[in-house]
Amino acid sequence: MSTPRIAVAHLLVISLAAGGSHACTTVLVGRAATADGSVLLATSCDGNIMGRVYVLPAAEYPKGATVRMFYDFPAPSTWQEHFDQVKRGYTHVGDLPIQRTYRCILVAGHLADSITGGINEHGVSMGIEFMPMKPKLANRKGAVSTCSNHWTTSLIANGLMQAKTAREAVRRMGAMAEKFGFTYYWAPDAGCAIPVVDRKEAWIMEIFGPGKDWTPDSGKPGAVWCAQRVPDGEATCNANRSRIGEVDPANADRFLASPNLYLLAEELGLWKRGEPFVWHEVYGTGGERGNSLREWAALSALAPSLRLAATGDPKKDRYPFSVKPDRKVDVQALTAVMRDCYQGTEFDVTRNPAFQPGGEHSPLARPVGSRDLFDLVGVEPERCIATETSGYVYISQIRDGLPAPISGCMWLTLGPAVTSCFAPVYCGMTRITDSWSRLPDFTAVARSQDQWKFQLVEDLTGLKYQEAIQDIRKVRGPAEEQFLSLQTRFEDAAVRAWKERGPDAAAQLVTAYSNSCLEKVDNAYGELVDYLMFRYLYSYPAASPPSLPRIGAVAIPEVPATPP
């Protein structure tokens, strides 16, 4: 690796980490509130640094086996820090009992390739939400995090690798945090939420630190955590602040919690017995304007009849944990939510008078992007659900009554939701095409990597947003409609393969089909980068007008004939 490339990477990472590096948004919908009876999880990882998706095979271990746990702290903020950390090697922090792991499709991001979400072969899916917490809860002695630089100390990785249901995943992750201690890898003075879904249930799990006095040999839980189930007929949103309110530990159908739920709050002076116990008030903070506005946008999109009010003051704008949607929710509805930029509301910055010179809507008007333009015109951008900082966004659709390889589908993109295209990734896949699964190259622009293509399309769109976004919609819109329209036919074929030839045949079919979708998106976005450069960067695009690319038609693989 040459010095100039490292220098370029330094500049890249520093610029990417300039703002909103821990902000994410999650929406969960219970199965009675969805159009097809699925449980839905929509989540974005808005950590500024590109990610990838890959398959981790299942594994068996001898009875009584343990694996060495590794955790290096602090998290790297530049490529050079990460490079130096890799050269030093991992730090051994404990031993994890393990018997077997399930096949997982893991989504990872940031410089350390941290596992921050995914789906397993049983249809359990989860994501991540950074959350501020009371300062008294901070502790830097913990050995596990929601995500870390090694799977053995990642709660999300272990929840996916070792759980068949969402409840089991919550309990397993909670037990790990209690035993080994929790310190959030990317922001040690903060807590985290983990949304978890399976075929039947949706949960939001919130985890905070145990306080500065906790030590591994203290005999006390190394974290305080609580999980609340989303009612089957309702939906919820988490946008980087605690959302759990009053807790009833006796109601195991709706709540799961650590044994120090009340005791830690008393010990740290955060709550007195006899007072009302409201989780987000005791352990969390009020949050910021962008937290409450995103909650309002998501909940209002699903239940407009509630006429939820938004003042922009997070102290005033506290919303119900969950709401009943006005109509049944589907993947398309959640895709629209994840692309929300407050359009049509008073918080839509593109309607600011500064973007209306001479009464005309400026082609430069945009909801997100570099602060330079906003500073130039004197506009303060709002933190939207959709953001240019997304390393990935996906919508997990988990259905009961379908064979395992077909039961869970992540509608995934490795880029910002507004400018990128969602493609189906089934939980039965045994391999993911290289352009999506390879580690991002942070030292040079890699046109062979899907992540870079999504990032370049996002950045180029900002050159003349109002015109370029129309081009983007003409590319991604028909493709997403095609993928959704083929879903039933393809799944019927995959179920037939499962019945006639068994699980391996079904897995082979979903692998071939999903990779075909991923590769077509990848190819078209490579062409889209060239199109946008030619149209919006080149001084004379009219000399040879570029043709807008399209994502080609996908064929449903044939079901193998039944053997005689």
Answer yes or no: is pLDDT of 2 > 70.
no
* Residues of the domain holding 487: 446-543
314 and 176 together in one domain? yes
pLDDT category of residue 49 using cuts at 50, 70 and 90: confident
Look at residue 11 in the predicted model and tell me its pLDDT: 33
In a domain, 477, yes or no: yes
Among 326, 347, 368, which residue terminates a domain? 347
In a domain, 370, yes or no: no
Q: Are 289 and 313 in contact (CB under 8 A)?
A: yes
Mean confidence (pLDDT) of the chain: 93
pTM listed for this prediction: 0.94
> Across residues 389-415, what is the average pLDDT?
97
471 and 327 together in one domain? no
Answer yes or no: is pLDDT of 14 > 50.
no
Answer yes or no: is pLDDT of 559 > 90.
no
At residue 141, the 3 state secondary structure works out as: coil
Alpha-carbon distance 118 to 46, whole Å?
15
Take residue 52 and report the two structure tokens written for it: 């990838």
Look at residue 560 in the predicted model and tell me its pLDDT: 63
Alpha-carbon distance 170 to 156, whole Å?
10
> Across residues 409-418, what is the average pLDDT?
97
Answer yes or no: is pLDDT of 313 > 90.
yes
Per residue in 244-292, pLDDT (tens digit) is 999 999 999 999 999 999 999 999 999 999 999 999 999 999 999 999 9
Domain total in the chain: 2
In a domain, 424, yes or no: no
Alpha-carbon distance 380 to 7, whole Å?
31
In a domain, 422, yes or no: no
Give the length of the chain. 564
Look at residue 22 in the predicted model and tell me its pLDDT: 55
Per residue in 62-79, pLDDT (tens digit) is 999 999 999 998 899 899
pLDDT category of residue 544 using cuts at 50, 70 and 90: confident
303 and 452 together in one domain? no
Look at residue 5 in the predicted model and tell me its pLDDT: 34
Take residue 217 and report the two structure tokens written for it: 């040999």
pLDDT category of residue 19 using cuts at 50, 70 and 90: very low
Look at residue 537 in the predicted model and tell me its pLDDT: 94
pLDDT category of residue 119 using cuts at 50, 70 and 90: very high
Alpha-carbon distance 541 to 552, whole Å?
25
Among 312, 347, 382, which residue terminates a domain? 347
322 and 451 together in one domain? no
335 and 478 together in one domain? no
Q: Are strands 100-101 and 23-29 parallel, antiparallel or unpaired?
A: unpaired
Look at residue 557 in the predicted model and tell me its pLDDT: 87
User: Which of the residue ranges 12-21, 149-158, 178-187, 409-418 would you say has the lowest mean pLDDT?
Assistant: 12-21
339 and 467 together in one domain? no
For the chain, the straight-line distance linking the first and the last C-alpha, in angstroms and rounded, comes to 56
> Across residues 508-528, what is the average pLDDT?
97
341 and 455 together in one domain? no
In a domain, 243, yes or no: yes
Look at residue 372 in the predicted model and tell me its pLDDT: 93
Buried b (16+ CB within 10 A) or exposed e, 245-273: eebeeeeeeebbbbebbbebbeebeebee
Alpha-carbon distance 440 to 452, whole Å?
8
Orientation angle between helical segments 450-461 and 503-536, nearest 10 degrees: 40
In a domain, 115, yes or no: yes
> Across residues 434-441, what is the average pLDDT?
95
Answer yes or no: is pLDDT of 13 > 70.
no
In a domain, 205, yes or no: yes
